[in-house]
Structure 1
Amino acid sequence: MGQQPDVATPCAEAEARIAWVSQARCRQADPDELFVRGAAQRKAAVICRHCPVIAECGADALDNRVEFGVWGGMTERQRRALLKQHPEVVSWAEFFAAQRKHRSAV
C-alpha cells in the first residue's frame, strides 16, 4: 500500500490555531479595543507590534477572509488591499514565510 498524503485534518488545524492564539499579545485584551472602526484601528494595531505570532494571526485572518477588527497588525483596509493585490494566494502562511525567506536572503 502507498503512503497517505500529508493532509491537515480539521482537528490538526484547530490544534495549530489554539497553539498560536495562546501566545498572542492580545489574548488578554478587551475585544472592544480591537474591533474598532476607521482610524482607531491603527491605534489598536499597536498591541500587535511585538507579538510573537503576528504572522500566524495575519495569515489566519486572510485565509479565512475575516472582515472586521485588527488581525496580525493589519486593519480591515490593509487586509482587503492584500487580498485584492494577491488573489492567487492559496495559503497566506506560506506567502508570508516565502517573503521572510526572500528578505533574509537579500
Structure 2
Amino acid sequence: MTWNESWTTVAACKESQDALFVKGAEQNRAKQMCRSCPVKVECLAEALDNDIEWGIWGGMTERERRALLRRRPNVTSWRSLLETARASEDGADGRVAV
C-alpha cells in the first residue's frame, strides 16, 4: 500500500468531520469511524507531525496522541516512521505498530 497524498478526499470522515471533535464517551463512537478508514495512518501522521491537539485523528484521541508523543519524543517525522512501519507490516495483518 502506498502513501496517499490526497488522503482527505477518501477519508471515512470526509462528510462528517464534526463528529470527530467530541468529548468523553462520544470519542469511542467517533473512533469507530476510523477503524475501516483506508487512510487512517496518513491522518494520524498529519496530527502527530503538526501537533494537532483536538479531535480524533487516525483513530486516536488527544490523550492517546500525547501519550504516544511522550513515549517517542525523538521522532522527527511521524509520516516517515509510519510509512516505513506500514511497508514492513503489509502482508502481515494490515495494522501498523507504533
The 5 A counterparts of 1:71-86 are 71-86=57-72
C-alpha displacement of 1:98: 2.5
TM-score, length basis structure 1: 0.74
Q: Which has the larger radius of gyration?
A: 1
Tell me, in whole angstroms, the C-alpha distance in 1 between the residues paired with 2:64 and 2:84. 19
Q: What amino acid does structure 2 have at the position aligned with 1:81? A: A
The root-mean-square deviation of aligned C-alpha atoms, in Å, is 2.3
Please name the residue that 2:78 is paired with. 92
Tell me, in whole angstroms, the C-alpha distance in 1 between the residues paired with 2:11 and 2:90. 24
Tell me, in whole angstroms, the C-alpha distance in 2 between the residues paired with 1:20 and 1:29. 15
Any stretches of 5+ residues in structure 1 without a counterpart?
Answer: 1-16
- 2:45 counterpart (59, 68, 72): 59
C-alpha displacement of 1:96: 1.1
C-alpha displacement of 1:105: 8.3
More helix by share: 1
1:27 aligns with 2:14: yes
The 5 A counterparts of 1:33-48 are 33-48=19-34
Tell me, in whole angstroms, the C-alpha distance in 2 between the residues paired with 1:36 and 1:52. 22
C-alpha displacement of 1:60: 0.1
Tell me, in whole angstroms, the C-alpha distance in 2 between the residues paired with 1:30 and 1:55. 17
TM-score, length basis structure 2: 0.80
Pairs aligned (count): 90
SS at match of 1:79: helix
Tell me, in whole angstroms, the C-alpha distance in 1 between the residues paired with 2:63 and 2:16. 22
